[in-house]
Amino acid sequence: MKRYAVTGFIIWAAATIVLRAVGGGIFRLPAPLLLLVSLPVMIGVGVAVLHDAKQRALAAIALVAPGMLLDTISTIWFPRVFPNIPADTAGLFGGWLLFCNIVILLTAVTLRPNSASSVPLR
């Protein structure tokens, strides 16, 4: 599970750096469009990272946990962490984060089981 937590941290750090550097424009999109565009991206991330996990649901939790924890801080201090993004978009930012995380979690539990993670029912 450590591998998935580290991967989640790296994804969080990269996304935070990109948003801090050039992210102001993304929140100019209407909320439904932002979510619609994010949906396939987050499904793709979930599939790419979790496809070989033996315990996919636990791996997904480990994957999103670092970002959820650290995004708590970035949401509370939104104007300081993201000075290039208008402060009035903090609500949209928080909702978007929740959406992205739940898509990853749902992707993990809806993916077809692979042979490594399949356990026969008795």
Per-residue tokens: 93? 């930012």
Residue 82 burial by CB count (10 A; 0-12/13-18/19+): exposed, middle or buried? buried
List pLDDT tens digits, range 53-85: 999 999 999 999 999 999 999 999 999 999 999
Determine the pLDDT at residue 114. Answer: 65
Highest mean pLDDT pick, 81-85, 100-104, 108-112: 100-104
Domain ranges of the chain: 2-110
Q: Which residue has the higher pLDDT, 111 or 91?
A: 91
pLDDT band at 26 (very low <50, low <70, confident <90, very high): confident
Q: What residue spans of 51-116 are helical by DSSP H?
A: 56-76, 78-81, 90-110
